[in-house]
Amino acid sequence: MLQVGDQAPDFTGPSGDGQELRLSDYAGHKVALYFYPKDDTPGCTAEACSIRDHWEGLQEAGIMVIGVSPDSVSSHQKFAAKHDLPFSLVADPEKKILETYGAWGEKKMYGKTFMGVKRTTFLMDESGTIIKIFKRPKTKIHGQEILDAFTES
């Protein structure tokens, strides 16, 4: 599992606009990279909308946001359009990015064990160093959590 102080691994993946997104393209910027289970589900929608609702403050603070889930590009396009999301969503159906960041693994719910996305957010400074990891972000206030964490660092 990645830790605070580690260099964030670079990745490439298709974004909701159909373009290839590379983390290294964000060098020199603060980045919030968040992993979430599924487009248009209650918790994931709350989290994305919280980030959207704090977008102006995030932009003023120079923070770029990238969301990653196993959903398809077309699913991301619909999700972003439906909720007016101003940030990039990366499709990772093979779960390569999720696995690299330790955001795919065994989960337990209602006494059952299964493989799934571990909702996690990594904050990186301008040099790509991980400065904070949210292992269980609060979906309804995650935009504010991101802003506060960058303000504190």
Q: Give the residue numbers annotated as catalytic, written as ranges.
A: 44
Residue with tokens 């605070």: 4
Report the distance separating Cα 52 and Cα 54, nearest Å: 5
Q: What is the DSSP string of 42-66?
A: HHHHHHHHHHHHTHHHHHHTTEEEE
Which helix (H) or strand (E) segment is 141 a member of?
A: none
Report the distance separating Cα 66 and Cα 144, nearest Å. 16
> First-to-last CA distance in the chain?
22
